Chains A and B, each alone.
With several copies, the nearest count.
Chain A
Amino acid sequence: MNADLRTRLGSLRLPNPVVTAAGCAGSGRELEQFFDIAEIGAVTTKSLMLEPRAGRPAPRMAETPSGMLSTTGMQGPGIDVFLQRDLPWLLSRGGRAIVSIAGAGVGEFGELARRVSEAEGVGAIEVNLSCPNPADPAGRRFADDAAQAATVVQTVRSHARSDLPVLAKLSADVPDVVELAGACVTARADGLTMINTLRGMSVDTRTLRPAVAGGMGGLSGPAIRPLAVGCVYRVHEAFPEVPIIGVGGVRTGTDVLEFMAAGASAVGVGTVNFSDPSACTRVLREFNEALDARGVSRASEVVGAAHRAGTGV
C-alpha cells in the first residue's frame, strides 16, 4: 500500500480518488457506522433542493440483472437543513463534502450555489443536470438540451464562490454526451461527473404493472458500467484537460482502475453502497492493492492510460 493516491478535481485536492456518488450515501452518518468517513476521498451529498422534498410514491425500487431501478424523486431536507445539520457533522469527522444541487429552475440553481458558497468547508459543487427543466415545453431534463445545461452551469459558476470548483453531472441518455460535456466546459465547469442513472423500466410480472410507481425509473449498478466507462472515454478523448469523476456500477478496486484508465481522475461509488455498506473502503483498499500489484507508484499515472498506445502505464 505504497502508491500515492492523491488526486485533483480543479482546485479540489482529495487524498484518494474514491468518493460516494450523489444520493447513495445518505448524510454520511449511516456509512460512518461501517468505516471512517474521513478515509475516503469525499462524500457527495444527495442532490439538494431549496425546499424540503417528499419525493415520489412507493414502490420506489426494483431489482434488475446486476442493477436496480429506482425513483426516489430527490427526497431530501432542503439545502438549509443540510448546511446547518449534516455538513457540520461531516466536517467534524474530518470528511470532505461535494455538495450536489438540483434547482427547480435556473434561478434556483443560482440561489443554491450562493447558499452553498456561504457555508464553510464545502469542497466542490456538483450540478445535477438530470432534473427536469420546468421551462422545457416537452418536460425534458436540463441535460437533454446542451444550451440549457450550459445556462445552468454558467449560473451556478457566477453565483458560486470563485474558489469553489463546479462539477457538472451528466446523464448518458442524452442526444450527444460529448456535445453536452463541451457545452458545460465552455460554460466554465471545472470538472464533469458522469454518469447519472439511465431511464428504464421494469414490469412486475405478477401484476403486469410497472414495478416502480410512475413507470419509468433510473437504472444504476454494475449493469451500466460499460456505458459509463464509454462516456468517460469519449469525453476524456475530446477534453483531456477536464477532470472527470467516473460514476456507474463501481463495485471493485479494478473498476476504479478501469474508469481511471478511461480518463477519470476520481470515481464515485453509488448503488454498490446499498449492497455492501463497506464498499467505499473496500474498493479503496482493492484499488491500492491493484496499483501495488502493477508497480504503479502514483494513481494519477493511470488516468487516461487506455488512450495511450502500449500498456498504458
Chain B
Amino acid sequence: MSDNGPVQTRCPVLNVRRVDAYYAITVVAPGIAERFRSGQFVSVAVGGDHSSTLLRRPFAIHDVKPDYGGTVEFLFAVRGSGTAWLAERRSRDLLDVVGPLGRPFPLPRDPVNCVLVGGGSGSAPLFPLAQSLRRRGCRVDFVLGGASADRVFSAITARRIAETAAFTTDDGSFGTRGRVTDVLGRVIEESRSDAVYACGPMPMLRAVTAVAGNHGIPVQVAVEETMACGIGICMTCVIPVVGEDGITRMVRSCVDGPVFRGEQVRFDDVGTIPFDALGAPGWKGSSAARAAESARDIA
C-alpha cells in the first residue's frame, strides 16, 4: 500500500448542481484531494450495492478545494444508466470513489504560453490545469468545443481564468460554427503558444495533434478510452503508443495515460494492433527490446 497512489473511499456528496446540459458533483474526499494533480481522474461506482451495473465510471477531476478537509468536484453529462443514476444523487448520499487515477499533465518548467483545447466533457480536466499553469506564470488560452451551446462545459470559468477563450459548436449555437481545430491555428498564432494541452474524443485529439505539429509545438493529450477498471489490471483500455525507444506498445490509457504526448499516440491505428507493435502477431522482438521490457516499471 502506497502513500501517493490512489485511495478508495466512501465519501459523502456535498452537492449536485445542474449546469446547462451537465451536472457538477462535489464529494468530500480529503485523501483524493490531497494527492490530486491536474489531468487525473476518479472512478465512481454507480447504481448502489445491488446494481446490475458492475463497472465504475471514470470522470476527470474538475476542481479540488480545501473545504471539509478536501473536496473533489467532477462534471458530467448524462449519457446512459450510470450518469443518469449519478444525476439523481443528493447531498449526504455516499459515493464509492477511487482516485486520483492516471498520470497527470506534465507542467512546463518555464512560464510559457499554453493553449488548452477541450471537446465536450473533455474540458473538465483543463480547468485545474489552467490554475496550475497560471500559478507558474504561464499564459493560458482556451479553445472549447461541443455539439451545441449546452455541451460546452464551464464556458464562463474559461473566460474568467484565461487570457482569451474561443468557443466552437457543431450547430453554431455558441461561438464559431465548426470544430475546435477550425480556430486552433489562429489562437496558437495570436497567443504565440509554446504548447498545447488537449482533452476530448479521439478524432479531436488527432486533429489537434496535427495542428500543433504544423505549428511545431508540443501537445499533451488526455484520452477518454472506455475503461473497465481504471487502475491498470484489466487491459481493456489499451491504445498504441510509441515509446521513447521507438517501440510501439499497447499501453493502458488508465495508468500509462490518460495523458500522453500527442506525437506518440498512433491515432491512425487506434482500434487496431499495429503490425509493428510489441507482441503483435508475427512480431519478433530483438533481445534488446525484451531486455528493455524487462527493465520497465522497475523503480
Report whether chain A binds chain B. Answer: yes
Residues of A within 8 A of B (CB): 23-26, 29-36, 46, 51-61, 63, 65-68, 70, 72, 75-78, 80-81, 84-85, 89, 213, 221-222, 271-278
User: What is the number of contacts between chain A and chain B, taking CB atoms within 8 Å?
Assistant: 142
For residue A58, give the distance in angstroms from its CB to the closest CB of chain B: 5
Give CA–CA (A52, B96) in the complex, Å: 35
- B-side interface residues toward A, CB under 8 Å? 1-2, 5-8, 45, 52-56, 96, 98, 225-226, 228-229, 231-239, 249-250, 255, 270-273, 277-281, 283, 285, 290, 293-298
Cβ–Cβ contact A33 & B234, under 8 A: no
Check A52/B56 contact, CB under 8 A, given A33-B6, A80-B294. no
Instruction: Establish whether residues B233 and A54, one from each chain, have CB atoms under 8 Å apart when the complex forms.
Output: no
CB pair A80–B8 under 8 Å, yes or no, is no
- Contact B238–A55 (Cβ < 8 Å): yes
The answer to whether B6 and A58 touch across the interface, beta carbons within 8 angstroms, is no
Beta-carbon contact of B272 and A57 below 8 Å: yes
Q: Which residue of A lies closest to B238 (CB)?
A: A58
A-B interface, 6 closest residue pairs, ranked by CB to CB distance from nearest: A26-B233, A274-B229, A52-B279, A33-B5, A54-B279, A61-B236
Contact between B235 and A68 (Cβ–Cβ < 8 Å)?
Answer: no
Give min CB distance, A39 to chain B, whole Å. 10
Does the CB pair B279–A57 fall under 8 Å? no
Contact B52 A222 (CB under 8 A): yes
CB distance from A285 to the nearest CB of B (A): 14
Cα distance A135–B235 in the bound complex, in angstroms: 28
Asked, given contacts A52-B285, A70-B234, A277-B98, whether A61 binds B228 with beta carbons under 8 Å apart, the answer is yes
B279 and A274 contact, CB distance less than 8 A: no
Q: By the criterion CB–CB under 8 Å, are A34 and B8 in contact?
A: yes
A227–B164 alpha-carbon span in the complex (Å)? 53
Which of A33, A53, A274 is within 8 Å of B228, CB to CB? A274
Known contacts A65-B52, A277-B229; 6 additional CB pairs below 8 A are A51-B279, A52-B293, A54-B283, A68-B55, A75-B238, A75-B250
B294 / chain A contacts, CB cutoff of 8 Å = 77, 80-81, 84-85
* Chain A residues within an 8 Å CB radius of B232: 26, 30
Task: Say whether B1 contacts A34, CB under 8 Å.
Answer: yes
Q: Which residue of B lies closest to A67 (CB)?
A: B54
